[in-house]
Structure 1
């Protein structure tokens, strides 16, 4: 299993958790973003910088992810695409996206996008909490154990 990270919007504390997991397990971890970022010096951790542009990083992840890989993203359409390829998707808040729940999540995302498009302020997600961090770490550990 390779781990792919939609790194432009991934919180730093989640990246740190991923770095520790990659160093502990030896799994390949690739951060994909349209700007450079620091990563630990390790043979199994790399940064893939893509050109700026709408969904360029997402498209690169979809292109490279394979069945059984794990993609870390809060982007619902990206999660849907990698799930269709047989990969797994996990949000930085520890929510697993699956074939069973991704359709509903896409519908809700589209509905909220329509509301925002009509001028309604829907707010944004709450800040990442300590509970979210623990949920992410627990789900990451489960995904790694299941891949072994």
Structure 2
């Protein structure tokens, strides 16, 4: 089992690296070249750089992920693909995507996109909080123990 992180805008990479390596699981951070860093990662953590094009990280994660792997993303499309492949998919705000909630999330995203396309303003995501961080950590550790 491996942990794949859609890492460009992931605010919980430190938790994923700390907890993932405690369980001796490989952590793969997939990020665009525009976020390149010379920072050395701990053993068991690999960074894969992809083009800056839309969905490049998503495509790479889906190419690499196998059934039973963990994917952390805020992208509902990637989450849907990961579920279809039999992966465990978590959101950084501390909830697990599943076959019961993904259709509603995708529908909401679609309706918001259509509203914006027609000139309406939509609300963005709520700010990431310390409570979200703790909620994610709890879910992530529970998921690692469960698997």
What range describes the TM-score normalised by the shorter chain of this pair?
over 0.9
Note closer, same or farther for the CA distance 1:58–1:114 as it changes in structure 2 (3 Å cut). same
Note closer, same or farther for the CA distance 1:141–1:39 as it changes in structure 2 (3 Å cut). farther
Note closer, same or farther for the CA distance 1:113–1:72 as it changes in structure 2 (3 Å cut). same
Structure 2: which 5+ runs fail to align? none
- Aligned match of 2:25: 27
Structure 1 length as normaliser, TM-score? 0.92
> After TM superposition, where is structure 1 displaced by more than 4 Å over at least 4 residues in a row?
none
Equivalence map 1:1-148=2 (5 Å) = 1-11=1-11, 14-35=12-33, 36-37=36-37, 41-147=41-147
- For 1:61-104, what per-residue CA distance to the aligned partner results, in whole angstroms no more than 9, with x for missing partners? 01111111110000000000010000011011011100111111
Q: CA contact under 8 A between 2:91 and 2:97: conserved in structure 1?
A: yes
Number of aligned pairs?
Answer: 145
Q: CA contact under 8 A between 1:22 and 1:45: conserved in structure 2?
A: no
Secondary structure at the aligned position of 1:71 is classed as strand
Superposition RMSD in Å: 1.3
Note closer, same or farther for the CA distance 1:39–1:18 as it changes in structure 2 (3 Å cut). farther
Give the Cα–Cα distance (whole angstroms) in 2 for the partners of residues 56 and 99 of structure 1.
24
Structure 2 length as normaliser, TM-score? 0.93
Give the Cα–Cα distance (whole angstroms) in 2 for the partners of residues 109 and 40 of structure 1.
36
Shift of residue 53 of structure 1?
0.8
Shift of residue 22 of structure 1?
2.2
